[in-house]
Amino acid sequence: MSQGADILLGLQWGDEGKGKIVDVLTKNYDVVARFQGGPNAGHTLEFNNIKHVLHTIPSGIFHENAVNVIGNGVVIDPIIFCGEIDKLLKLEPHCIDRLKISRKAHLILPTHKLLDAASEASKGKNKIGSTLKGIGPTYMDKTGRNGLRIGDIELLDFIDRYNVLKKKHLDLLKGYEFPFDLQIAEKDWMVAIARIKRMNLSDTDILIQKAFHSGKKILAEGAQGTLLDVDFGTYPYVTSSTTTAAGACTGLGLAPNRINEVIGIFKAYITRVGSGPFPTELNDDLGQNLRDKGNEYGSTTGRPRRTGWLDIPALKYAVEINGVTQLMMMKADVLSGLKELKVCTEYRYLGATINHLPFSLNEKLLQPVYVEMESWEEDLTGITSASDLPKALQDYTDFIEEKIGVPVVLISVGPDREQTLWRG
Ligand code: GDP
Ligand code: IMO
Ligand code: MG
């Protein structure tokens, strides 16, 4: 591994298994840095029969060798963040010493959450299906130049600044018929703010640059997935940040020429939580079967995830947007024992056959074209070497590699750290 940074990100609509893989890879890195998103993320790690779900904290936190950075591109809900810290402290009393929080990261206010909920309620059937964590309104205030940042907590007039922004939000809320009670949330928020003030607030952009110049290895951890990117995702059914490789640059202060590998994670099928187009969705027993076998329920909201066949044009699009150099295929075990196995290789779009993602994924205009693949029966969860995987799965993987033109270097066969097979 050469000096500089690698990026690890999701290539679908999130929940690809980023948390698990960051945890697996952290032993090779000195710095693990989250670059965007906030508590809308739920990154799951499993080892020693314990399952951990992280929302704001980078997934390298369980390893003593790495500094964990919450970058400037992240938005932080102080209450959720302190709740995460409390859970972690029970298991890893010193984890907080290796956690650095960017002074430039933006704060999610209680009123941002109210605005998120009010906006969603007003949209009716056109709602985004937001996690209601206040993500959209917080990024709106960031780009609107109204936001409050972690570093503002250290200023003497922080409360005045808070009150100015809160008033702006309360005025906006008058435009919605949305009942709320702010008192308890606001009190808890202030308590959490006072705690955060005593933590390692840091100029993490400088930290990242120093790490680079001293030859340290940096892993940038993405949240959400490429198809939820605010520019390149299925807009408007997206999140409000740059989930793609470019987001690692703006979300950490990492120059593009300092990036080496871009590791793209995808499920062997595909899922989505929330609203929006989904060409290969399975609204039948097969879809339910994938949901049950893959335990496809949101790590953050508990909502059932929509499920479908692997969509190769969408995957190829995500690989191109991010410049992916290595692929990792997750949840291959979930496909064992299926009666049928299909992959979408192209679309029918306005009477033509295309193999790229067009502007509109409206189902009236676009239909997936599938090829049937050979399925396999074997339970994969106890397999310890990629060469022991069933032939049909090897063929499935080779097929994807050939279509995308990037090597699949790892196949995951279960949620545990150990259920991770490197391909030779
Ligand atoms: P993330 O948001 O990308 O970190 O992914 P999530 O944690 O939200 O969702 C992935 C889910 O799949 C979690 O429950 C993981 O524990 C689980 N998981 C990860 N890899 C595998 C795998 O290879 N097989 C199975 N069965 N589950 C996996
Ligand atoms: P991780 O990091 C899956 C989805 C929501 C909704 C849309 C907008 O765990 O992969 P937001 O709250 O961001 O305004 O919601 O994005 N979404 C996710 N789906 N995994 C996530 O994160 C997600 N974060 C947001 O369901 O459709
Ligand atoms: Mg998740």
Q: What percent of the chain has pLDDT over 70?
A: 100
- Residues in contact with 245: Cβ distance below 8 Å, sequence separation at least 6, in sequence order: 7, 9, 259, 262, 321, 322, 323
The CB density around residue 52, as the number of other CB atoms within 10 Å, is 20
The two three-digit tokens of residue 43, written as one number: 């990154």
What is the mean predicted confidence (pLDDT) over 259-270? 98
**pLDDT of res. 141:** 98
> How far, in Å, is the centroid of ligand 2 from the Cα of 129?
8
Give me ligand 1 centre to Cα 137, in Å: 28
Residue nearest to atom 27 of ligand 1 (CA): 415
CA distance 45 to 142: 30
43 counts as catalytic: yes
**Protein residue whose Cα sits closest to atom 6 of ligand 1:** 15
Q: Give the three-class secondary structure for 31.
A: strand
Residue 10 makes CB contacts below 8 A (sequence gap 6+) with: 16, 18, 222, 223, 224, 225, 226, 243, 264, 265, 266
C-beta of residue 161 within 8 angstroms of C-beta of residue 148:
yes
Verdict on whether the full-model pTM lies above 0.95: yes
* Both structure tokens of 125: 């059937």
Q: How many Cβ atoms are within 10 Å of 387's Cβ, its own excluded?
A: 9
Instruction: Tell me whether residue 15 is one of the annotated catalytic residues.
Output: yes
**pLDDT-derived band of residue 300, with 50, 70 and 90 as boundaries?**
confident
Of 6, 15, 116, 229, catalytic: 15
Which parts of 15-134 fold into alpha helices (H)? 18-25, 78-91, 110-123
**Ligand 3 center–CA 162 separation, angstroms:** 30
pLDDT at 1 over 90: no
Pocket test for ligand 1, best of 11, 16, 47, 331 (most atoms within 8 A of CB): 331
Instruction: Tell me what the pLDDT averaged over the chain comes to.
Output: 96
CA dist., res. 279 & res. 371, Å (int): 15
Residue 363 pLDDT level (bands cut at 50, 70, 90): confident
Q: How many other C-beta atoms can be found within 10 angstroms of the C-beta atom of residue 348?
A: 13
Where b means 16+ CB within 10 Å and e means fewer, 26-38 reads beebbbbbbbbbb
Confidence of residue 92 (pLDDT cuts 50, 70, 90): confident
